[in-house]
């Protein structure tokens, strides 16, 4: 129930935000992940086992949390909780369970963990654009003279479909396009990848400032911590989350506080910076 209320609160806060709070009138969503320390109970150890590098009895259960938040208001839109070890325990897997929250015309910003071929394809099929830092393997092989030149260290490149990952069904793999056109550019010392392909409509310096606003998701989490007067995720988690069903509800409760407070705040300055860029 708490998780549902947190999501509904986030929707109300976001729907009530003025259009000019959003980036060029488009809603921007932030995705980010974190790990949380839980109470050392048998139930939590079974579902959220501690890292294998820790000896039994010397650590705490750890879960992984991925959230979707609104850049303009700081409101929590959705979240997913899972274990930190085993199949489907990565941030990508948790984010895939949240994609139905994204609406056509929105923009998703996230770090290099998320810039994969199949996520970009999935966003495109939903009419959602993405701005990400390029992930390591692709970053090392980026060659700006290749592809369609858009400007200094700014080009369009056609990616080929990689091998089917273990988590993907053969049917979904067959439906994914064989190629994908994305835009790569370098700005602020980072190589970025985006599905916003037109350099005239969206110059790379505006994308640089927009991506810089991704750090606001860290600020929003801090709002939650101060709201309930705790200093660390782990301290609160070890003393409060005794049952498995409390994990997702308490996570939603904490992050949801940011959304409840957002209506009393001024619009995020990063949005204004992007609009003036």
Q: What is the mean pLDDT of residues 148-172?
A: 94
Share of the chain residues as helix, strand and coil, in percent rounded to the nearest 5: 40, 25, 35
Q: What is the mean pLDDT of the chain?
A: 78
Q: What is the mean pLDDT of residues 195-211?
A: 92
- pLDDT for residue 243 is more than 80: no
Stated pTM of the model: 0.78
DSSP character string of 29-93? EEEEEEEEE----HHHHHHSPPPTTSPTTSS--EEEEEEEEETTT--EEEEEEEESSSTT-SHHH
| Cα distance between residue 27 and residue 156, in whole Å | 24
- For residue 60, the model assigns a pLDDT of 84
Domains of the chain: 2-276 (3.90.350)
């Amino acid at each position: 129930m708490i998780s549902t209320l947190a999501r509904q609160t986030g929707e109300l806060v976001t729907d009530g935000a003025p259009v000019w709070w959003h980036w060029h009138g488009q809603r921007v969503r932030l995705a980010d992940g974190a790990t949380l320390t839980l109470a050392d109970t048998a139930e939590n150890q079974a579902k959220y086992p501690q890292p294998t590098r820790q000896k039994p009895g010397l650590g705490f259960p750890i879960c992984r949390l991925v959230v979707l938040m609104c850049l303009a208001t700081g409101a929590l839109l959705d979240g997913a909780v899972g274990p930190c070890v085993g199949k489907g325990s990565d941030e990508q897997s948790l984010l895939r369970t949240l994609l139905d929250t994204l609406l056509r015309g929105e923009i998703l910003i996230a770090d290099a963990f998320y810039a994969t071929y199949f996520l970009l394809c999935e966003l495109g099929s939903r009419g959602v654009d993405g701005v990400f830092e390029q992930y390591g393997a692709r970053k090392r092989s980026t060659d700006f003279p290749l592809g369609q030149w858009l400007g200094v260290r700014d080009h369009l490149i056609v990616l080929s479909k990689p091998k089917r990952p273990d988590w993907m069904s053969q049917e979904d793999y067959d439906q994914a396009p064989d190629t994908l056109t994305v835009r790569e550019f370098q700005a602020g010392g980072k190589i970025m990848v985006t599905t916003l392909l037109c350099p005239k409509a969206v110059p790379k310096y505006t994308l640089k400032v927009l991506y810089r606003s991704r750090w606001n998701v860290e600020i929003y989490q801090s709002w939650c911590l101060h709201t309930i007067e705790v200093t660390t995720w782990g301290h609160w988690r070890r003393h409060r989350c005794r049952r498995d069903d409390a994990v997702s509800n308490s996570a939603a409760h904490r992050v949801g506080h940011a959304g409840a407070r957002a209506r009393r705040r001024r619009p995020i300055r990063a949005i204004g910076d992007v609009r003036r860029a």
